[in-house]
Amino acid sequence: MDTKSLIPEFPVDRPLELSDKSLLDRLFTDLQPQVSELTFAGLYLFRIAHDYRLTMIDESLVILGKGYDGEPRFLPPMSGDIRGALQVLFDAGMTLYGADDAFVERYLQDEGLLVSEDRDAFDYLYLRSDLAELPGNRYHKKKNRINYFTSRHDYLVEIFRDEFIVGCLELLAEWQRVRGAEASRSSLLEVDATAEALRLAGQLGLEGVVVLADGRLRAFALGERLNTTTSVCHFEKSDPFMEGVSQLVDREFNRLLFTDCSYVNREQDLGEPGLRGAKLSYHPVGFVRKYRADRQLTQRKTLY
């Protein structure tokens, strides 16, 4: 795809905008990404948290940004002369974040590069049917918690619609209040992204489910298609005081949405022990490994 012709007079460096959706959607359709960040919604909703910006380098579209620690970084170039763009960025001393195995194999075999796995950023990959059906003894505890909830509450599961935005925002505020001072900076930034996702779900192409119980909205999950075989669940929140509702909303998201997908990507754990344990308890069938890479100091050049 000739991205340069799609963006005449492209600025040197500018923030990601909602109007960029059609362009990035077309690129991602061609790229069929595995990494959970590589959807327009995944980028746009975290544009403030990661200071995402678009630029063109050697006719290659590149997203620049920062990690939660403020470290400047860039995501894998998406078009054009990818090798040329990588050389410019590495020579400038910048760090690549979010390369998957295929990208490493194709573009990061230079002996002058330092390439390392980022375990805290690995995406968890599951069979969608496993999460939708919870088969066998492996999911016995999950099913028990769902049964505990459904036997004690009058509830409804609905597809997310605009009429549920207010209830979802109220639940999100309660979730944040309960976390209180224990909330990490990344989780606070995720709350802001989640609130915007709820308000802009229709424009961003997000789909979801909600659980209503005893007259109130008790859980929601939002996601989208990542590639032709995989969905991705970006956001999931539930009433922290209702046992079993989190397991129910997860099951229903996978039972009702993206039913033609074989897999669901449940994103990373950011190294948080509790989140890691919860994700492992659903028995992932694999991981989307992510790598960082930069030029060894002795190999760096200056652009100026």
For each of the domains in the chain, give its residue range(s) and CATH number, in order of start.
3-121+289-299 (3.40.630.30), 123-287 (3.40.630.30)
Tell me which H or E stretch contains 197. helix 185-204
| pLDDT at site 301 | 46
Q: What percent of the chain has pLDDT over 90?
A: 84
Beta strand pairing call for 230-238 and 263-265: parallel
Check: CB of residue 287 under 8 Å from CB of residue 100: no
Token pair of 97, please? 């974040």
Tens digits of per-residue pLDDT, 210-240? Answer: 999 999 999 999 999 999 999 999 999 999 9
280 pLDDT above the threshold of 50: yes
Are 263 and 125 in contact, with CB atoms under 8 Å apart?
Answer: yes
Would the pLDDT of 196 be above 60? Answer: yes
Residue 45, token pair as written in the block: 């909703």
pLDDT at site 187 = 75
